[in-house]
Amino acid sequence: MNQVAVVTGGSTGIGLAIAKALLAEGAKRVYITGRTEKTLSQAAASLGDGAVGVASDVADVSDLRKLKVEIEKRGDQLDVVFANAGIAENNGFGETTEVEFSKTFDINVKGVFFTTQTLLPLLKDGASVVLTASIVANKGMANLSLYNASKAAVRSFARSWANDLKARKIRVNALSPGLTETPIMKNGLKMDDAQMAALHDYAATAVPLGYIAQPDEIATAALFLASSDARYVNGIELTVDGGFSQV
């Protein structure tokens, strides 16, 4: 493989699983970003010598420029960018504040846009960009209107950028996970143990495959989109949800 990749939000959850899978497949170097220095350092250490942790908030364009500088310092060009960093928080329509709105859209939409734009000069011609969207973009789940809409924007970016970058043969695709057990459920959505248990019970009947995914099951699909096996796959949304949104 011998690729160089960036995974934003790579210190936990799906991002960390993507980084692990990349290195297991023989990636030369994987840059992971995260906002919490301790968590990021622990993740980078767990990944080994091929990982480089860079503290970076994707909502802060100056942080993204620092990430670009870190990559340039090592003389690396990028084979793939996984614009994965994002948050999920409940918001009650009718009670949502401007601060809540800005937080979600700054990270989930602005962050994805400027991550990709900032790193674009380092992407090789023929490279790949994988954007982490979500099935919520199409499901309209209650009390998640900000999250839902932000992920719809991410899916739209994949379509637009596939056109924008066609002269350089850079492929851009969106990956839309379904129910996946990640720290976002407790840290972002504030689900307690009883709510998590109820969600597992719900998935047993609502998801055709009968369970909630683990991050590594999403990571394998992300790596497919980035790989030469998907060399004629461009501008799509690959839904990985056990059939939940399909039936």
As annotated, the active-site residues are 147
User: Which of 24, 34, 28 minimizes the C-alpha distance to 57?
Assistant: 34
- Neighbour tally for 159: CB within 10 Å: 16
- Neighbour tally for 69: CB within 10 Å: 10
Q: Are 26 and 227 in contact (CB under 8 A)?
A: no
98: left (phi > 0), else alpha (psi -120 to 50), else beta?
alpha
Burial 70-106 (b: 16+ CB within 10 A, else e): bbeeeebebbbbbbbbbbbbbbeeeeeeeeeeebbbb
